[in-house]
Amino acid sequence: MISKAGVNDMRGSLTESDLLISKAYVAGQWTGSDAAPIAVDDPFTLEEFGEIPDLSQAQVQQAVDAAADAFPAWARKLPKERGDILRRWFDLIIANKEDLARLITRENGKHLREARAEVDYGAGFIDFYADEATRSYGEIIPAPVPGRRLMVETEPVGVCAAITPWNFPLAMVARKAAPALAAGCTMVAKPPELTPLTMLALAKLGEEAGIPAGVLSIVTGHAAPIGEVLTKSQVVRKLTFTGSTHVGAMLAEACAPTIKRLSLELGGNAPLLIFDDADLDTAVETAMVAKFRNCGQSCVAANRIYVQNGIRDRFVKAFGTKVSEMKAGDGFDDAMDIGPLIDERAIAKVDEHREDALSNGATLIAGGPSPGGRISVPTLLSDVPANAKLTQEETFGPLAGVVGFDTMEDAVRMANDTPFGLASYVCSSDPATIARVGRDIESGMVGVNTGLISTPLAPFGGVKMSGLGREGSHHGLAEYQNLKYICHAGL
């Protein structure tokens, strides 16, 4: 059980303490398990403040069966009725924003300011799809012969499974559940083991909003056995996954025998290209946001910063000043800019990438080694070799590296020299440069003179090994719909 002291101390006090939940949500019931619970810790204090049940495969199957049972009635509801329930869910999330944000900071470590922004961002998908539910249209195709009508209707895909990562504990599941439920699908969602509590709190508010039993279940426990039930099931018709490319590929393979639909939001290795004609303040602001949001633990984080040699020294000086002013520490402390990293592996990866770049000729401009615990000091390196680990792999931490370039062709070639293609960023004041880079760069999203591109209104997703499918916008709804073509003769 979670101790009251753990709940109500200064760091994590939740005014609605029933949002700190230690049970899974299966078929409309809050459920425990016979197995030993899994502890959830606070990445800053390292205190274990929560726990979740380790469900058996039979319990996960129960969630799948309940989703199948609930599907026909949910799919038959009027879109407006589904939208009204989503709207109530959105309202409850906003009413409980502070508690949800505290829970995110407690289990994920991100700064409370960013946790509040995540609640707004994630809730925005529920808001958007509450309306979008009623805006799904079919087609009439001009008939090739007299007396026929060719109609295309949309219908919900069916039971969907969702598996999400720890870096945005609320937004990643909201981005999936909102369009799925709006389209008339039911869902079984598995939260990440490191940050499962926010998803449970979200489900609690969904229950209060009137989401019927079985329409949304949350199955907690160890990933592999849960994944096995969800991927092998014939009843589950779609898997929507956000996480690493390695696990995404494994799950896609596991889904192949049952030919499930897939949405895969996978790893990134985003380049930021800064040209000589860029506005310096805009370039620095873009780099700050694109690199350090969520402590660098974002799939769209600028992992590689390519700067044209004419502006490079001025950019490194100005960016270095900002980076050296940043403070990493307790996410509940207003004086801090960023919180801790998620775990020791994350610290080790940042340290490895920094040391690899330095030993291959990079220059330390600001920051340095981790002071201990899970704190990683915001760090800037310059003169990073183009083949350093820092530019080749997703660092997922507050370490920025600058690589110089001479021509646009060089910059685009280096930017595209990766198997990933999620986001990219370009800073320039020349419309022709922006247009050519926008055309030639291989990524699903491009930020021009901004590091902040995510919104429920636009399609989020990648190309190459960054994934399949889109989340957000009307394209996000289509991910949860099948097309049915009806050929009506004899008219």
Rounded Cα distance between 24 and 52, Å, is 7
**What are the catalytic residues?**
265, 299
Smallest separation, CB 194 to ligand NAP (Å) = 6
**Residue 177 to residue 85: CA distance in whole angstroms:** 13
451-470 burial code (b ≥16 CB/10 A, e <16): bebbebeebbbbebbbbbbb
Q: Is 75 in the site for ligand NAP (CB under 6 A)?
A: no
Q: How far apart are the first and last CA of the chain?
A: 67
Rounded to whole angstroms, the Cα distance separating 227 from 440 reads: 37
**Can you tell me which of 244, 282, 392, 473 binds ligand NAP, judged by CB under 6 A?**
244
How many chain residues touch ligand NAP (CB under 6 A)?
28
Q: Show the CA angle centred on residue 155, arms to residues 152 and 158, nearest 5°.
A: 150
Question: Which of 427, 431, 432 is CA-nearest to residue 451?
Answer: 427
Among 12, 184, 243, 339, binds ligand NAP (CB under 6 A): 243
DSSP states of 128-159: HHHHHTT----EEEPPSSTT-EEEEEEEE--E
What DSSP element (H or E) covers 263?
strand 261-265
Using CB under 6 A, pick the residue from 105, 108, 154, 167 that binds ligand NAP: 167
**Does 242 help bind ligand NAP (rule: CB under 6 A)?**
yes
Question: Tell me, what DSSP letter sits at residue 13?
Answer: -
| Min CB(407)–ligand NAP separation in Å | 29
Closest CA to 307 of 417, 392, 381, 395: 381
Binding mask 426-455 for ligand NAP (x = CB under 6 A): ------------------------------
Stretch that binds ligand NAP, among 49-57, 288-296, 358-366, 462-470 (CB under 6 A): 462-470
Among 91, 193, 356, 430, binds ligand NAP (CB under 6 A): 193
Residue type, 153: E
Select the residue interacting with ligand NAP from 179, 267, 320, 401 (CB under 6 A): 267
- Verify binding: residue 467, ligand NAP, rule CB under 6 A: yes
At position 257, the amino acid (one-letter code) is P
Q: Determine contact, residues 463/446, Cβ cutoff 8 Å.
A: no
Q: 86 near 178, Cβ under 8 Å?
A: yes
Among 7, 150, 213, 223, binds ligand NAP (CB under 6 A): 223
Cα–Cα dist 453/444, whole Å: 12
Does 140 sit near ligand NAP (CB under 6 A)? no
| Closest distance to ligand NAP from the beta carbon of 406 (Å) | 30
Binding of residue 233 to ligand NAP (CB under 6 A): no
Interface region with ligand NAP, contact rule CB under 6 A, candidates 161-169, 308-316, 330-338, 351-359 = 161-169
Is residue 65 near ligand NAP by the rule CB under 6 A?
A: no
Site mask for ligand NAP (CB under 6 A), range 272-301, x = bound: ---------------------------x--
Residues of this chain that bind ligand NAP (CB under 6 A): 163-167, 190, 192-194, 223-224, 227, 242-244, 247, 250-251, 265-268, 299, 394, 422, 462, 466-467
